[in-house]
Structures are given as structure tokens and as C-alpha cells.
Structure 1
Amino acid sequence: MRSFYHYIMTFRGVKQPEAKSRLADWIFYDHDFPKHSTNYAEISNYLEWNSPFTNALQVFDEVWDLYKTHED
């Protein structure tokens, strides 16, 4: 299973940025993000402490659901 980081990178680089791509871009530039993790709690806790924008956790939950569906 690939890491969540690798999955969310597929949302980067869009011409019309939206919440998923904003989160992906922020994660890309955050050197402390747990890039090898596949663990929901680890990533969620990290984002709770380092949230880049107001609804980042909600966006993370949406992308996490896509990630789990895609990786299963």
C-alpha cells in the first residue's frame, strides 16, 4: 500500500486550485509531514496541530476516504 502522502500528491498542480489541491500543496512543502504513513490517527493528529487552513481536517477526511477506497 502506498502512503497517504503519495496518494494526495495526485491532487497537486491543478490550474483552478480547490481545497484538495491546497491541502496537497501544503503537505508537499511541509518537511515535517509524516510522508511514509498509512495511519489515519497519525496523520489526523499531525494536521490537528499543524492545520494549514480552517477546513483542512474536513478536507483530509474526504481525501482519506478516497485514499482508502482507491488503495483497498
Structure 2
Amino acid sequence: MNKTFYQFLMTQRNPGSTNPIAEFANNAFYDQSFPKQLDAFEPLSKYLEENASYLPNMEIFDDVWKMYEESM
């Protein structure tokens, strides 16, 4: 069974890290509105652009998305 993007992102969590990907994962964990069931790029990208003030730039999402695709 394939993981959703959120499930993959949670594998990148590291509460003590200053790595941008870990910070993204840590903040997404606390985002109660994060679309946890999505596994498609466009709706996730749209959600993050409109709602994720904790994500300093979309390049971080793009990098994690590539990692997510490679893990499938």
C-alpha cells in the first residue's frame, strides 16, 4: 500500500533539527488542517501556497515531493 504524502512527510520529522525539510514536517504535524489523505501534487501545492505560512518557500515542498515520488 502506498503512503500518502503526509505519511511520508512525517518520516522526515526531527523536532530538534533546523533542517528546512524537518522543520516543514514538524510544522505540518501541528497543522490541523493539513490534507492528510492527499497524494497528488497540485492540490497539495495549492493548499500549501494558500495556508502554510510556516513554509518559507515552495522549493522545500518541491524537494520533499521529489523524495516522496522516489520512495514510491
TM-score (ref. length: structure 1):
0.88
Mapped partners of 1:4, 1:63: distance in 2: 9
1:25 Cα deviation (Å)? Answer: 0.7
Q: How many residues align?
A: 70
**Matched residue, 2:60:** 59
Over residues 37-64 of structure 1, what are the superposed CA-to-partner deviations in whole Å (9 max), with x where a residue is unaligned? 1010111000000131322x11000000
1:15 Cα deviation (Å)? Answer: 3.4
Give the % identical residues. Answer: 33
Larger % of helix: which? Answer: 1
**Match of 1:64, as an amino acid?**
W
Mapped partners of 2:33, 2:59: distance in 1: 20
5+ long unaligned stretches in structure 1: none
**Runs of 4+ residues deviating >6 angstroms:** none
Report the aligned-residue RMSD. 1.2
The question of whether the paired residues in 1 share the 8 Å contact of 2:6 and 2:37 is answered with yes
TM-score (ref. length: structure 2):
0.88
The question of whether the paired residues in 1 share the 8 Å contact of 2:15 and 2:23 is answered with no
